[in-house]
Each structure stands twice: as C-alpha cells, then as structure tokens.
Amino acid sequence: MSEKEYIHTVTINKKRCIGCTRCLRVCPTKALRIRNGKAIILQDRCIDCGECIRVCPQKAIYSKIDDLDIINNYKHKLLVYSSVLIGQFKKYKNFKKILNLMSYLGFDEIVGVDIGALIISDVIRSFLKHNRDKTYITTNCPAVVRLIQVKYPSLIDNMLPFKNMMDVAGEYLKKEFMKKNNVKEKNIGLFYLSPCPSKAQAVYQPEGEVKRIFDGVFSMEEVYNNLRYIMEKKDIHLDKDIELENVTESSLKWSILGDVDSQFKDFTSLRIDGIDNVIEFLEEIEEGDFKEIDLVDMYSCQNGCVGGVFTNENPFVCEHRIRHIASSFPDSVEEIPPICEGDYCSLSKPLKPRPVEPIDKNMSNAVKKMKDIEEVFKKLPKLNCSICGSPTCYNLAEDIVLNEDVSIYDCPVVLRRNLRNMAKDLFEMAGRTDPIEENDNKE
C-alpha cells in the first residue's frame, strides 16, 4: 500500500441516504458533501471519527468492519477488548462474570486494553521526566491522531512517539500466549473489540507502524448483541475462577475514561473529550498556549471511549459502572510486565502529515484558483446553511472552482437573488411600449 492510500471504515448506503445534510454539519474536517441528493465522502479528509454515523437519522452511514465468523480461520483465537465493554451490562457488575460470559464467544484467551495502559504508562512517565519542553499529546485516540495529521500537521512533533495502548496490549497478549503454549505466530488470530470506527480503522491501517498488529476487528455493538443472545438462550456458568493479573484501578480508568491524572500524578496532565473541544484546544496549543501542561490525553468522543459510536449504554451510566468496578482493584502492581525492553513500545516509523489533495500541483495555477475561490466566496451569503450540499459557504466556493459539476446557483440565496433580478428585468420589459404594437395602433 502506498503512503497516499488510506483505508476507511466509514461508508454510506446511498439507497438509505435522503441528503438531509446533518452529517455535513458535524464533520470536523469538512469531509462530506451532498451531490445529486446523496452524501459522499472526500476520502483524503475523512478521519473516521464516526460523528456522521452518530447523527444520521436514516442509519445510512455505517462502519464496515469484520464479522465474528472470521475467527474460525485461525487455530488459536485471541481477543483484546476495549474495557468499555464492562460498563455495558446492567445485570453483571462483577468483572469476572463479564469475562466468563465473553469466554462463550470462542476465544482462547482475552485481555483488556488496560494491560496496554499499565505497560505504556511506565514508558511515558520515563519519557516525560526527560522531555518537558512542550505539551505532549497521547496517541490513544486514532481520530485525534488523524485530525492532527490532516488539520494541524505542525503539532505532529507534540505527539508522543509511542504505540497506543491497544496495540501494546495486543503485542503483549500474543507474545505471552506464544510463550506459554509454545505455538507459532502464523497459527494465531489476534482481534480487537472496538468501541468506535476510529479504532477499527486503526486496526486496518495503524499510523506509525510498518505492518498490522491485529488480524481483525469487531464492533462492540455486534459482540454485545451476541452476548445478550448467549445469556438468554444458553445455560451459562459464570462462576469459573479467572486470574486478573496486572489490572489496576488507575490503568482501568485511564484506558476507558481517560483519567490521565490518576496515571500521571507527578505531571501536569489534562483530559480533553469531544471533537469540538479537541479542535479548540489544538488551535490554542498551536498558538503557543498551555506550555505549563506536560501531557494532554484527547478523545474525539464526548466522555471518552464510553461515548463511542459502537456502544449501547448511556455513557454517563457506563462511566459510573466502570468507576465502581475499577475501585475494587489495587492502585498499583508489584511488577509491570517486562515487555517494553528496548524500543518495543516506540512507533515503528515517525508520524507524518496527511495533507488533503492540493488545489493544483502547478503553483501558478494554484495561486490563480485561490484568487478565484476568494472572488466566488465574496458573492456568497456567508450563512453556512449547507443547503447547497457543501458544509460552509467557503467550502462551496472551493467546490465551484475545483469541481465542474458544482455551480454558484446551487446556493439557494444566490439563485433566489438571481431569479428576483430576472423577474425585475422581465417586469420592466413588460411595462415598456412595444414599438410594433404602437405602429399598429397608429394605422
């Protein structure tokens, strides 16, 4: 795959789309348009945050990911689950019972992403002790990583140069399973249970990595529905004793809720959630503000991962349950798994900007088109109503100059203004005396 080819999980069912423009209004990178009455995605701008999925009233926008059946292609099946799952169940408030329930899905071994949080937190603490020259940003939310690559490339140097916690958890699970069971890697299928399309996309195309770590990814909604079916249809036993090693209250809270303060008490840290809040904060960091903050943990979803598009439960209720469950675990462990020796937790390659398509590869043509865009923009009403099928008036000006299928008369205000002027001209013409008619009357 070339550097410029991007994989996306967010897709549109054109048959269901009614062109209502709701998706246009919420997209943080202006990656959506309505053309011929249907939504389309500008692939170079999309960051797979899933906000369009959240607001679509027709369920026309969805995330295309793997089905659970693919685990049957592998002899040994391993799963890293987003710990958000433990807050989805009303009936089971015991962590071990939830894990017992998950064992009915057919996986040989499962771990929560919190083990990745525990491992990577030690590496980050060591890094921050020697690097306090700027505000650093975690790589835990792939949508935020891609947002920075697309809209704020100047902040790429502020990103921590480490893998996100789900990838660390996946590597840990695979290595431990291979060591304990003496099996070859080719016989292992490693999967991730995702709360959102952003992390699903990161499975297919992890930023900063040479190759994929996971073999597949499942929607939390699909797995939750499967577990509900198992609970209702099968005679299940949830009393099997499960060892919960390397789980701490702080790692559990950080991996799910973004409680970065509990994990990095010796540093000035902050959690930002909600894509609009993230954008506002990134702009302020870009301007040089908040230099006193050592670490920012950012999440595109409101309330962090509990607010993911693939979750079923109310995020506030889910967060309450998780805090209750997390409080039953110790605050620390005696020894952190020795998996991060050397550069294991570091990204395989540096993060790079992911620029949108240039206006024109020829500089002089690009300058001319920029001037044309400004001229068109001056003629538009600046209402940003999206009725034209572009998110804002400026986006419409861009689309008019760069896309021959778009016209300034797609703007209803301009069209109405033009029709009014035409009607006025016709009215004036109708009021004039017809010279031929005048001559006829004289005769």
* pLDDT of 64 over the 60 cut: yes
Task: Please give the Cα distance from 264 to 274 (Å, whole number).
Answer: 22
Mean pLDDT for all residues in the chain:
87
Confidence of residue 338 (pLDDT cuts 50, 70, 90): low
Q: What is the mean pLDDT of the segment spanning 290-295?
A: 88
Intervals of CATH 1.10.15.40 along the chain: 363-431
Specify burial of residue 138 (Cβ count, 10 A radius: 0-12, 13-18, 19+): buried
Task: Please give the Cα distance from 43 to 9 (Å, whole number).
Answer: 11
Residue 216, strand partner residues: 191
Question: Is 326 or 183 the better-scoring residue by pLDDT?
Answer: 183
Largest CA distance in the chain: 114
Find the angle CA(10)-CA(260)-CA(162) to the nearest 5 degrees. Answer: 65
Confidence of residue 1 (pLDDT cuts 50, 70, 90): very low
What's the pLDDT tens digit per position in 373-402?
999 999 999 999 999 999 999 999 999 999
Share of the chain above pLDDT 90, in %: 56
Amino acid at 293: I
**Under a CB-based contact definition with an 8 Å cutoff, are residues 117 and 345 in contact?**
no
Cβ burial 339-363 (10 Å sphere, 16+ → b, else e): bbeeebbebeeebeebeeeebeeee
Q: How far is CA 350 from the centre of its chain?
A: 20
Q: How far apart are the first and last CA of the chain?
A: 84
* pLDDT of 94 over the 90 cut: no
* pLDDT of 149 over the 90 cut: yes
Confidence of residue 2 (pLDDT cuts 50, 70, 90): very low
**What's the confidence (pLDDT) of residue 92?**
63
Fold of the domain spanning 10-63: Alpha-Beta Plaits (3.30.70)
Confidence of residue 55 (pLDDT cuts 50, 70, 90): very high
What's the pLDDT tens digit per position in 247-289?
777 887 887 777 787 788 889 999 999 999 999 999 999 988 7
**Under a CB-based contact definition with an 8 Å cutoff, are residues 421 and 413 in contact?**
no
DSSP 122-174: HHHHHHHHH--SS-EE-S--HHHHHHHHHH-GGGGGGB-SB--HHHHHHHHHH
Backbone angles phi, psi at 296, to 5 degrees: -120, 125
Please, which residues have CB within 8 angstroms of residue 11's CB and are 6 or more apart in sequence? 41, 61, 62, 63, 64
Task: Please give the Cα distance from 149 to 157 (Å, whole number).
Answer: 11
pTM of the model: 0.88
| CATH 1.10.15.40 is the classification of domain 363-431 | yes
Total residues found in the chain within this entry = 443
Task: Please give the Cα distance from 139 to 164 (Å, whole number).
Answer: 5
Task: Please give the Cα distance from 302 to 335 (Å, whole number).
Answer: 33
Q: What is the mean pLDDT of the segment spanning 150-176?
A: 93
